[in-house]
Structure 1
Amino acid sequence: MSEDEKNPAREVIADYAQAHFRYFRTADGTVYAQKNGHPVARPMRSQGTTGSHRQELMVGLFKDGRGVFNGSAMKEALDLIEALALDADTHAVHIRVAPGFDGATWLDLGRDDGKSVRIHPTGWEVLVPDPREVCWRRTQLTGELPLPAKDTDGKGIDLLMRLCNFANAETECLAIAWLIGCLGPSVPVPAPFLTGPQGAGKSTGGRMLTRIIEGMSGDLRRAPKDEENLIAAVAAGWITALDNLSHMTPDLSDAMCCIVTGAESVKRALFTDGDVFRVGYRRPLLLTGIDVGVIRPDLAERLLPLRLERPRVRRTEAELWADYAEVLPVVLGSLLDLTVKVRAVDAETPTDLRMADFAHLCAQFDAATGLGALPAYRASLDDLNDDVIEGDLLAQAVLRYAETIEPGAAQQMTSTEWLSCLGRLYSGEDGRPLPKGWPTTGKVLSDRLKRLQPTLAARGVLIDSGRTKAGRYLEMTRTVVLTLPPHEQTRAF
């Protein structure tokens, strides 16, 4: 076929595509195609299982009687359209939740007709969003949600709590507050850690919380062995739920911190020499497990412990999930009602907590309901501080030494002097050998104490650093009468 005979096919495809689709690019340069009047956008180069734009375009051409075109003509037309789209306006795409106009947020129901939930402090409604206000991106992890029920009078929350095995009312408050936070695209929420004895329904409870936002296809998964696969899974969905954690490596702990508060991954783009591919992510994270061992201080500030108890009466999986699927529209409707109520309330933002956005949400929740989510959140962080101290012999040594300092007083030494002092305190008169992982140099000690600063500050011990003409120093200040950690910690001395 001559070159002249190919041109009409390219032109037919390009004209049809530009008449039936809107093409735009995101801030990172990725070009998307969005069918006119529909909020779902697909990447131009995607070949994913959710359907590519190439397939969408081929089906449209065939159904509208324009014919079937060979791959060469289709490729050339799409290459031209993609090049033209690089000069188009930029627009963000979102998975599951998105900000809207006038202070509203949107929840993607994952439906083929594009119906979504618009949530505003004045109320919520189900409608198809204006494509220029919200562009949804769908992946294989985007499940379909049922249409939420109206006028539930809060029954859905009670039904959900009956299906879960939360240990007390405080835990239930925190779980509901977390779900409300998941409906806000700009609110970083701590990662719930569902814990309890064997048989307490931790995995089932995690699935139930996840499926309220992700639909019945949402599920728990094992933690990936490397950070690259974890980031890929996180970026493709909204809630990332990891099941049955029994050990947490430092790399996994750091990755979880990034997921909760947000980060960006940059790697070389495929089939290029110097171009890069950027993936930005901040997602709700959910964990389950009996015990993950030692928790690092920076992750502890980003966790939300939710304790479960063993149920007195067992039910079959089929019966349990049939009941859950039946009440899910009511649960979702009640959650949306409560979200509207909470967002309409003003409350002061606690300034002493690391996750200030979630703390503010808890304060709004308490003001709207009269419950105690914020005190429960503070208590959970206090328990996590105890867990960190129990698993860190250096933190225990610092607290033990701080008992010898008068309240309000400070003591300065070089990091090497502190290392020797704390080592002697741990070893005691019997010369007990230092444990594995104990700092070996003053620099390592200084770095460890920086990581422990929030935990120690919660126990009334401040660690600061400075420099004089003689050199650098570390300063330990005892601010209050110390609240000693649980008795298990004192056994190390």
Structure 2
Amino acid sequence: MSEDEKNPARKVIADYASAHFRYFRTADGTVYAQRNGHPVARPIRSQGTTGSHRQELMVGLYRDGVGVFNGSAIKEALDLIEALALVEDVQPVHIRVAPGFDGATWLDLGRADGKSVRIHPTGWDILVPDPREVCWRRTQLTGELPLPAKDTDGKGIDLLLRLTNFTDSQTECLAIAWLIGCLGPGVPVPAPFLTGPQGAGKSTAGRMLVRIIEGMSGDLRRAPKDEENLVAAVAAGWVTALDNLSHMTPDLSDAMCCIVTGVESVKRALFTDGDVHRSSYRRPLLLTGIDVGVIRPDLAERLLPLRLERPRVRRTEAELWAEYEEVLPVALGSLLDLTVKVRAAEAQTPTDLRMADFAHLCAQLDAATGFGVLPVYRASLDDLNDDVIEGDLLAQTVLKHAESIEKGGAQRMTSTEWLHCLSRLYAGDELRPLPKGWPTTGKVLSDRLKRLQPTLAARQVLIDTGRTREGRYLEMARPAPAAPAVPHEQLQVA
């Protein structure tokens, strides 16, 4: 009797798996399998799905002549492997973009051979990453990218932008900065909001931007109806693109803020009573639409408006996408070339903007190219502040009242007193009724003003809270004009 016949089937499978695969766990306890020398890792619990480790193991056993085993033997072997892997080192898995060693980052091309792009301030190259450095996780949303072209001399970006209908070169520079930000796993990037008249090609331009990162299979989606489905879609890909938004609920707005800057989701694990499943995510987000109504202040700070115009000459979809697919390798190569230059550039980080990492990236892009992206980004935030104010009657009333406060002065009242003051100002002599959504208590007013603080501060109106012996108060102030700088020569003379 042979040794294989003496050994239980589960041991034969486990020995084969240990010899041909590396098993490890992530911080949340999920066990992954990685074929020796290959960077793609698969969760061993994804049984029965296309490309699962269970199928990978069955095919390997059959092709190497070990045998064909029933499902119970494979399940027992995988249960043993999962238990043993819980004492192995912890290593993260990544979708599409990952940090590497020595300050490098990696871009997964989605290829079966595992070839990826290593991006470093000294240059970029196409390599198969060491499995100990990068572990790729792939899903049905992971499309394949073409091999980027070398020595493009920057032509690819011009070829790409020629296919879009952005209103001006400043908007195009913001789109380029966003694409560079998408290649950095540690850089939270604002969500581009592609707007324009009907027929301006917003959806087409959105697909073009997404497919530079996600491949030709990348596409736009309708916004999910609930946060749970949105989180599931975000967790399965890198860039999440939502098309044709016409309304944005407060819950969806809050969820988008979390997606852009990062959040952890915790829910009950399936088939358990006391265990939980954790998932942390921070992803690039892209939106398209003509008008989404009122934009909340916290989301406005995380948006990047990109405006488009109607094209003078129309082209067929087949002709447009055939040209796009042809220029995609050159466009990706040019984007990688520019990314290398930007990461090698030195620039100061602006300290007055919410998305400081993206603002620093814009400053680096300006230092490398002279595009002047950072001033354009600041101007876009001012435009969004105007949109927030135009859609918020309370903000308009606060700014109207602030005009009665001298510059350098302040006014302090309780939140209830402020509510009566602002309500009387809005109603006016005509005693018009207060609008729907107007604060009904001092506490509600205080919370609304806290949310509006960044928007009002951009208009030189500062809101602060505090407490005295009499109780809590709200203070509205207008800062004094900054004193003009004294020239250095005059200081020396004095």
TM-score range, shorter chain: over 0.9
3-state SS of 1:464 partner: strand
The residue type paired with residue 402 of structure 2 is A
Distance in 2 (CA, whole Å) between partners of 1:8 and 1:246 is: 61
> How much has 1:279 moved relative to structure 2?
1.1
Question: Residue 22 of structure 2 contacts residue 34 of structure 2 at CA under 8 Å; is this kept in 1?
Answer: yes
Deviation per residue, 1:375-433 (Å, 9 max, x gap): 00000000000000000000000000000000010100000000000000000011011
Aligned residue runs from structure 1 range 324-343, under 5 A: 324-343=324-343
Structure 2 residue 308 is the aligned partner of structure 1 residue 302: no
3-state SS of 1:126 partner: strand
Q: Specify every segment of 5 or more residues in structure 2 that has no aligned partner in the other structure, as ranges.
A: 482-494
The aligned counterpart of 1:444 is: 444
The aligned counterpart of 1:396 is: 396
Task: Tell me the C-alpha RMSD between the 2 structures.
Answer: 1.2
Aligned residue runs from structure 1 range 269-284, under 5 A: 269-284=269-284
The aligned counterpart of 1:460 is: 460
Aligned residue runs from structure 1 range 208-357, under 5 A: 208-357=208-357
Task: Evaluate the alpha carbon distance shift between residue 48 and residue 62 of structure 1 in structure 2; reply closer, same or farther with a 3 A threshold.
Answer: closer
The residue type paired with residue 194 of structure 1 is L
Distance in 2 (CA, whole Å) between partners of 1:50 and 1:181 is: 32
The aligned counterpart of 1:488 is: none
The residue type paired with residue 393 of structure 1 is L
Distance in 1 (CA, whole Å) between partners of 2:326 and 2:31 is: 40
> How much has 1:273 moved relative to structure 2?
1.1
Distance in 1 (CA, whole Å) between partners of 2:153 and 2:253 is: 40
The aligned counterpart of 2:435 is: 435
The aligned counterpart of 1:60 is: 60
> How much has 1:337 moved relative to structure 2?
0.2
The aligned counterpart of 2:207 is: 207
The residue type paired with residue 67 of structure 2 is G
Task: Evaluate the alpha carbon distance shift between residue 49 and residue 205 of structure 1 in structure 2; reply closer, same or farther with a 3 A threshold.
Answer: farther
Distance in 1 (CA, whole Å) between partners of 2:383 and 2:263 is: 27
The aligned counterpart of 1:174 is: 174
Structure 2 residue 66 is the aligned partner of structure 1 residue 44: no
Distance in 2 (CA, whole Å) between partners of 1:139 and 1:152 is: 31
Structure 2 residue 193 is the aligned partner of structure 1 residue 184: no
Distance in 2 (CA, whole Å) between partners of 1:480 and 1:48 is: 67
Structure 2 residue 431 is the aligned partner of structure 1 residue 415: no
3-state SS of 1:159 partner: helix
3-state SS of 2:29 partner: coil
Aligned residue runs from structure 1 range 1-150, under 5 A: 7-47=7-47, 49-150=49-150
Deviation per residue, 1:433-485 (Å, 9 max, x gap): 1000000000000000000000000000000000001010000001257xxxx
The residue type paired with residue 124 of structure 1 is W
Distance in 1 (CA, whole Å) between partners of 2:135 and 2:6 is: 34
The residue type paired with residue 425 of structure 1 is L
Question: Residue 39 of structure 2 contacts residue 114 of structure 2 at CA under 8 Å; is this kept in 1?
Answer: yes
Distance in 1 (CA, whole Å) between partners of 2:48 and 2:225 is: 23
Distance in 2 (CA, whole Å) between partners of 1:95 and 1:300 is: 27
Question: Residue 50 of structure 1 contacts residue 138 of structure 1 at CA under 8 Å; is this kept in 2?
Answer: no
Distance in 1 (CA, whole Å) between partners of 2:374 and 2:311 is: 27
Question: Residue 304 of structure 1 contacts residue 380 of structure 1 at CA under 8 Å; is this kept in 2?
Answer: yes
The residue type paired with residue 433 of structure 1 is P
3-state SS of 1:102 partner: coil
> How much has 1:47 moved relative to structure 2?
3.3
Distance in 2 (CA, whole Å) between partners of 1:371 and 1:80 is: 57
The aligned counterpart of 1:371 is: 371
3-state SS of 1:11 partner: helix
3-state SS of 1:101 partner: coil
> How much has 1:347 moved relative to structure 2?
0.2
> How much has 1:7 moved relative to structure 2?
5.0
Question: Residue 48 of structure 2 contacts residue 55 of structure 2 at CA under 8 Å; is this kept in 1?
Answer: no
The residue type paired with residue 16 of structure 1 is Y
> How much has 1:5 moved relative to structure 2?
7.3
Distance in 2 (CA, whole Å) between partners of 1:7 and 1:375 is: 71
Question: Residue 6 of structure 1 contacts residue 73 of structure 1 at CA under 8 Å; is this kept in 2?
Answer: no
Distance in 2 (CA, whole Å) between partners of 1:7 and 1:302 is: 60
Distance in 1 (CA, whole Å) between partners of 2:389 and 2:174 is: 24
Using structure 2 for the length normalisation, give the TM-score.
0.96
3-state SS of 1:103 partner: coil
3-state SS of 2:98 partner: strand
The residue type paired with residue 238 of structure 1 is W
3-state SS of 2:424 partner: helix
> How much has 1:11 moved relative to structure 2?
1.0
> How much has 1:50 moved relative to structure 2?
4.2
> How much has 1:8 moved relative to structure 2?
2.1
Distance in 1 (CA, whole Å) between partners of 2:354 and 2:67 is: 59
Deviation per residue, 1:53-83 (Å, 9 max, x gap): 1100000000000010011111101100000
Distance in 2 (CA, whole Å) between partners of 1:480 and 1:31 is: 59
Q: Specify every segment of 5 or more residues in structure 1 that has no aligned partner in the other structure, as ranges.
A: 482-493
3-state SS of 1:167 partner: coil
Distance in 1 (CA, whole Å) between partners of 2:27 and 2:6 is: 34
Distance in 2 (CA, whole Å) between partners of 1:47 and 1:306 is: 42
The percent of aligned pairs where both chains have the same amino acid is: 87
Question: Residue 143 of structure 2 contacts residue 214 of structure 2 at CA under 8 Å; is this kept in 1?
Answer: yes
The residue type paired with residue 122 of structure 2 is T
